[in-house]
Amino acid sequence: MDISELFSTNVQRNYCGHCNGSLDLAFECFDEKVSGIRIRVTGLPTLRCHACSATYLPDRSRVAVISLHKQAFEQASDLLEVTRRKTADTFAFTSVPFLYDSDDYYYIPGLQRQFDPGFLTPVFFRKEVLLKYDVHPSYQVSFASRTYGTIWQGPEFSIPFGINRFDHVVMWLGDVAQLPETEQYYLRSENVQSDHSIGSEFYDGQIECIFTDKTSEDRLLEARSAFLDACFKRFEMKVAHLDAEVLDLALQIRRPVVDTSSERRSIADTLNKVYLESLDNKALEHILAGLKMDAGKLGSLKRLQKLIEAVSPGGNVASAMSPLYVLYDLRVVYSHLLSSEGQEQKLKTVHQRLGLPEGSDLFVTYDCLIEALAAAFNELTVMVANPGR
């Protein structure tokens, strides 16, 4: 390696130059001959692409190697070996003893700033922290995409978060420190050591101001969040909850790659669990009772329809909710809960209601259903947010 290669005028970013994948911070042995001088640094911070394994030097590490080369040159030595000592800085934002690694702040591109030093230090949490906030009656968890969301408590506070490839929730230390101390200790109970990975739409949006086109699955999850937010504001009660399985499934939903019986069953079951079974039947019953309406022995979909019809008498609720019933029917078809003749007839009506040709394959059905479900939640949100319209 020539020393001139280290004097790059380009600022290192957190994306791979080969595949554009996100980079993770790693601590490796740098052992290179730099313009005739062998430099060996144990534990040097590097940036590694988890997709193609390409490795890059953060700007601060490049400067360190240049300084070591200068030191060896001045000493007329052709070998310099050092073991790097990790930073252990604590940033005075909060007295709550959160676990974090100041190396993340100094070496992950885009985080170190001249003002508010340490504010953008990533703090990592178990994913279950979201479940605690979701079940608490005063809080809401909203998703803008599968790796970017916000925890809300009315006008009191909101805090953005990301979900990285290790399924850890990531927040900025400065944001966390602005929460009431009781909330900070609540978060501290789910705090884990840094895994040095913050690649997500959270990082893209917060640091790089990159907002890529959302996938249809992201738009659907966002529409669900908006609908649940509208219901919470209107009825002061959550009509659906996350649990560990639902959260995992919601984050994993992807367009099918093969059209097989098992894939059809898996897709239908997964969508059903996330978007239908997560509805809280008891909460719907309670809200209906408050409106002096008998829920009877209705299922959650019927109760939801009855509730929205009550607050939006001018809306065509049945039409708006049709995609949710289509999803339910599709699950019945793909899970083989009917006779062959019954399956064929039910699938025919599913395609008809989606406006698809009879016999449409899984890919076409999936694409249309995802878009229809998102449109349904968007329309229902308007109905709930504008009661009596």
Question: Per-residue pLDDT for the chain (389 aa), expressed as one digit of tens each?
Answer: 888 888 877 788 999 999 999 999 999 999 999 999 999 999 999 999 999 999 999 999 999 999 999 999 999 999 999 999 999 999 999 999 999 999 999 999 999 988 999 999 999 999 989 988 887 777 888 888 888 999 988 777 789 999 999 999 999 999 999 988 988 999 999 999 999 999 989 999 999 887 767 889 999 999 999 999 999 999 989 999 877 888 888 888 988 888 888 899 999 999 999 999 999 999 999 999 999 998 888 999 999 999 999 998 888 999 999 999 999 999 988 886 667 777 888 889 999 999 999 889 999 999 999 999 999 999 999 999 886 55
User: 70 in a domain, yes or no?
Assistant: yes
Give CA separation, 297 vs 133, 284, 300, 318, 331, in Å: 30, 12, 10, 19, 21
User: 94 in a domain, yes or no?
Assistant: no
Q: CA 253 to CA 249: how far, in whole Å? A: 6
User: 226 in a domain, yes or no?
Assistant: no
User: 123 in a domain, yes or no?
Assistant: yes
The DSSP code sequence of 30-60 is EEEEETTEEEEEEEEEEEEETTT--EE--HH
Write down the pLDDT at residue 335. 81
Helical H segments across 11-156, by residue range: 59-74, 102-107, 128-135
Length of the chain: 389
> Are 275 and 378 within one domain?
yes
Structure tokens belonging to residue 35: 């313009």
> Are 70 and 140 within one domain?
no
Among 49, 83, 117, which residue terminates a domain? 83
User: 12 in a domain, yes or no?
Assistant: yes
Q: CA 61 to CA 386: how far, in whole Å? A: 55
> Are 258 and 311 within one domain?
yes
> Are 28 and 115 within one domain?
no
What's the CATH number where 67 sits? Answer: 3.10.20.860
Least Cα distance to 198 among 285, 288, 100 occurs for 100
> Are 342 and 258 within one domain?
yes
> Are 250 and 107 within one domain?
no
User: 180 in a domain, yes or no?
Assistant: yes
Write down the pLDDT at residue 133. 85
User: 227 in a domain, yes or no?
Assistant: no
> Are 77 and 106 within one domain?
no
Decide: 110 and 208 in contact? Cβ < 8 Å. Answer: yes
Q: CA 147 to CA 222: how far, in whole Å? A: 11
Among 189, 206, 223, which residue terminates a domain? 206
pLDDT tens-digit profile of 332-389? 888 866 677 778 888 899 999 999 998 899 999 999 999 999 999 999 999 998 865 5
The range of the structural domain enclosing residue 79 comes to 3-83
> Are 19 and 148 within one domain?
no
Q: CA 209 to CA 43: how far, in whole Å? A: 31
> Are 189 and 250 within one domain?
no
Least Cα distance to 35 among 60, 61, 69 occurs for 69
> Are 366 and 255 within one domain?
yes
User: 217 in a domain, yes or no?
Assistant: no
Torsion sign over Cα 156, 160, 163, 169: negative
Structure tokens belonging to residue 117: 């030093």
Q: Based on the structure, what is the number of domains in the chain?
A: 3
> Are 11 and 76 within one domain?
yes
Among 53, 83, 113, which residue terminates a domain? 83
> Are 245 and 365 within one domain?
yes
